[in-house]
Amino acid sequence: MDKIIVLDFGSQYSHLICRRIREFSVYAELVPYDISFEKIKELNPKGVIFSGGPSSVYNNDAPRPNSEIFQMKLPLLGICYGHQLIVDNFGGKVKRANKEYGHSILTVDNNSDLLGGVGDSLRAWMSHGDEAEKIPDNFQIIGHTERSQAAAIANKQESVYGIQFHPEVVHTEMGVQILKNFVLNICHAKQDWTMESFVEKTVGDISKIDGNVLCGVSGGIDSTVAALLIHKAIGNRLKCVFVDNGLLRLDEEHEIEKMFKDNFSVNFTAINAKRQFLDKLKGVSDPERKRKIVGEEFVRIFTEFAEKSGPFKWLAQGTLYPDVIESGVSKGPAAIIKTHHNVGGLPDWLDLQILEPLRDLYKDEVRKVAAILGVSKKLLSRHPFPGPGLAVRIIGEVTEKKLEITKVASKIVEDELEAAGWYDKIWQAYAAVGDDKAVGVVGDERKYGNIVMIRVVESIDAMTADWTRLPHDLLAKISNRITNEIDEVTWVSYVISSKPPATIEPQ
């Protein structure tokens, strides 16, 4: 399979480069910027992309790739900081400049090759404070803006390109076309990354493992698809275990057990561990600690089950690519956003090997795999749910009262969205609650009650998200139901922060 590797220099958009390339059926993988030359040769890419990043190439501690990359004669594209790395490496000069952030008009000076088919000009998304003062010998300027004279450069003989703007973000017009030009026309990568080929290869790889597999299933699409892939590969050597941690949606534990027993021919066991989880979380407010506790308790229960029902050699999980990136496992210079219970939250004492068949996929790719495997439309359209459950939708300590509020309020949100025809239009919707309280009036009496926060977002792959502009009458209906049906709630608020800078989940 042909692939493009993206060296991560810490840009918030690094992952989007991979995502956009995968959209036109070429496999792209995000790797650390200091990846070894030997590892690159092992990956055998058709081309290399340098991401953007917060650093300046003229600083002593600026992150730099292995110098041997430049000797490989592979097509190379630098984006933003990556553009400046190319200028600096080939003998040009980068200087501090006035910050250029947001939309700029890129005038195309050469509309062949990298900028082929994009027209004479386009709106490009800029995010930089440095610029190329002098471009290297044997390079030519192929695009400029009013404030960046060398916004796009090329050495066509060596297939090396640099662009100061970000083609991977939706704000750049024709950005996908520019990436296509590089990947398909310059790198000549074949479009052989399909979910059908992924299923075939993954099933083939898993069929070669020895030993039995223990798979934790939550009823969500990720763990369900992981289980079905593994079952397709090894059959009854897979054992699925559902742990009811008390942090699920309202009545979800019953729905999950019914779904697996009625629809999937896999070995399935349900374990009621509500009390264990809630006892472990008692008095804990820090979100990272809550994630660690939930992750460790899951694995502890699996380990105990494995000892009694095994032997098992593998623990399977529905880890996705965004989980890996956000947990810092990609080892780029970007900060860890949060620890995912099935990535960074695993305890050191785990003695089962980890099997993660979906760790290279984005959420929408998982949905395509699910459709191939015959998963029901209802599960395909179900909104994502966090691994640590309501522990991360309850701000502060997890209590029985806050759990009940969150479950009932979230059910009201989902029911009203369904009734109004909005549920399938959005990515995710839920209610969250914290420790803040506000005064309300019930009848003729003042009442001091909880504040419920409603979060509804639109997204493609959960890496970025925008808040949904719901009709005011629908918001009013949701608010009225929550305050009327949940005695402890006096206020309902609507969260209008997008990702970034916010995350989809509150914790």
Among all residues, which ones are annotated catalytic?
80, 166, 168
Q: Residue 224, Cα to own-chain centre: how many angstroms?
A: 18
Backbone Cα Rg of the chain: 25
Burial 207-234 (b: 16+ CB within 10 A, else e): eebeebbbbbbbbbbbbbbbbbbbbebb
CA-closest candidate to residue 245, choices 270, 226, 213: 270
DSSP assignment letter at 380: H
How far is Cα 313 from Cα 290, in angstroms, rounded to an integer?
Answer: 27
Distances (CA, A) of 396 to 135, 293, 345, 402: 53, 14, 19, 10
Following CA atoms 455, 477, 251, 257 in sequence, which dihedral angle do they give, to the nearest 10 degrees?
Answer: -70
Instruction: Provide the CB-side half-sphere exposure for 294 (13 A, CA).
Output: 29
List the end-to-end C-alpha distance of the chain, in Å, as a whole number.
38
**In the sheet that 27-32 helps form, which strands lie side by side, from edge to edge?**
27-32, 3-8, 47-50, 76-79, 160-163, 152-155, 140-144, 93-108, 121-134
Q: The tokens of 102 are what?
A: 């947001």
